[in-house]
């Protein structure tokens, strides 16, 4: 039987615009006292913002036991991005986060680390680079972003900034296909658009012949699908359900019914 992830309620302490496409949220409060890091540099957690009951997942940029830092890639529409960019601000509002999970495990015999990703991968690449550099490993990073993020990646890493294609897609598969791999065993990590990640896995297995425990390739988002505003706003349904004392499952049922009714009306 599956169990629901442990949830923790925090308060938004600060909001900072890092770039036009990247927004930082700093969350704290006594409700985060039970939040325990996995110790893995790519750890992520679920975030539920006010007026919603759906989680969105974000890499933990840092957690020092007092303040949790999440960096949000902003879009025109989306559950978190619309809330985070509200003109009247989000400082002082409460959010819910789940216990973090992670997957990065640099092999003991690795003599180098190569990280490749787009803007969504920046927090994980920054933390993984910090972890590897602290262990004395040389790190190279290839970052495909709309604009550079000064000071975001650690000193000591060899960073190549790559322009994001004009169609908002990704060319990272071509970048990896052209890499000159360091000698000896190492560790490769990559994250970004899912279709690109599938192509990279095939390349690593068939062309590079890299051992499967020496790389991690993660699909963070799907291309080819334009983001659309939600057909039914779950916020009012969530608030009404909570006010009526309904369970999450009952609120979900109400949301599904509202969506079905709208489809019928079309």
Q: How far apart are CA 121 and CA 145, in angstroms?
A: 10
Give 141-145 contacts, CB < 8 A, sequence gap 24+.
141/114, 141/115, 141/116, 142/114, 142/115, 142/116, 142/117, 142/172, 142/175, 142/179, 143/117, 143/118, 143/119, 144/117, 144/118, 144/119, 144/170, 144/171, 144/172, 144/175, 144/192, 145/21, 145/118, 145/119
Q: How far apart are CA 116 and CA 138, in angstroms?
A: 14
Residue 266 has pLDDT above 60, yes or no: no
Residue 231 has pLDDT above 60, yes or no: no
Q: Which residue has the higher pLDDT, 148 or 199?
A: 148
Q: What is the pLDDT of residues 70-98, one digit of tens each?
A: 999 987 777 888 899 988 889 999 999 99
In the prediction, which pLDDT does 227 show?
Answer: 45
Q: How confident is the model at residue 229 (pLDDT cuts 50, 70, 90)?
A: very low
Q: How is the beta sheet containing 158-163 ordered, strand by strand?
A: 158-163, 139-145, 113-118, 187-193, 215-221
In the prediction, which pLDDT does 112 show?
Answer: 98
**8 Å CB contact between 47 and 58:** yes
Residue 226 has pLDDT above 80, yes or no: no
Lowest mean per-residue pLDDT among 78-87, 124-133, 142-151, 156-165? 78-87
Return the DSSP state at 63. Answer: E
In the prediction, which pLDDT does 247 show?
Answer: 79
In the prediction, which pLDDT does 224 show?
Answer: 54
Q: What is the pLDDT of residues 7-55, one digit of tens each?
A: 999 999 999 999 999 999 999 999 999 999 999 999 999 999 988 878 8
Average pLDDT over residues 131-160: 96
**8 Å CB contact between 128 and 135:** no
Q: How far apart are CA 27 and CA 161, in angstroms?
A: 29
Q: What is the pLDDT of residues 169-214, one digit of tens each?
A: 788 888 999 999 999 999 999 988 777 777 888 889 889 999 889 9
Radius of gyration in angstroms for the set of CA atoms belonging to the chain, rounded to a whole number: 20
Residue 18 makes CB contacts below 8 A (sequence gap 6+) with 24, 71, 149, 152
Computed over every residue of the chain, the mean pLDDT equals: 86
**8 Å CB contact between 197 and 180:** no
Residues constituting the chain: 266
Q: How confident is the model at residue 4 (pLDDT cuts 50, 70, 90)?
A: low
């Amino acid at each position: 039987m599956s169990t629901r992830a442990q949830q923790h309620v925090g308060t938004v302490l600060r909001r900072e615009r890092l770039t036009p496409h990247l927004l930082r949220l700093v969350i704290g409060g006594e409700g985060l006292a039970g939040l325990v890091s996995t110790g893995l540099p790519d750890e992520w957690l679920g975030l539920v913002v006010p007026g919603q009951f759906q989680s969105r997942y974000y890499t933990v940029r840092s957690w020092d036991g007092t303040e949790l830092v999440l960096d949000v890639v902003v879009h025109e529409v989306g559950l978190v991005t619309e809330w985070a960019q509200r003109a009247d601000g989000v400082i002082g509002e409460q959010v819910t986060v789940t216990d973090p999970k992670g997957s990065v495990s640099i092999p003991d015999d690795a003599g180098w680390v190569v990280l490749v990703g787009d803007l969504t991968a920046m927090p994980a690449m920054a933390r993984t680079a910090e972890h590897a550099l602290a262990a004395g490993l040389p790190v190279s990073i290839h970052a495909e972003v709309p604009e550079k993020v000064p000071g975001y990646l650690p000193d000591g890493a060899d960073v190549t900034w790559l322009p994001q294609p004009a169609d908002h897609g990704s060319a990272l598969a071509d970048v990896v296909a052209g890499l000159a791999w360091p000698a000896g065993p190492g560790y490769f990590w990559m994250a970004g658009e899912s279709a690109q990640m599938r192509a990279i896995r095939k390349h690593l297995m068939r062309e590079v012949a890299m051992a499967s425990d020496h790389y991690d390739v993660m699909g963070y988002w799907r291309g080819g699908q334009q983001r659309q505003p939600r057909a039914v706003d779950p916020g009012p349904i969530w608030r009404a359900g909570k006010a009526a004392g309904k369970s999450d499952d009952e609120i979900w049922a109400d949301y599904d019914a509202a969506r079905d009714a709208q489809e019928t009306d079309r």
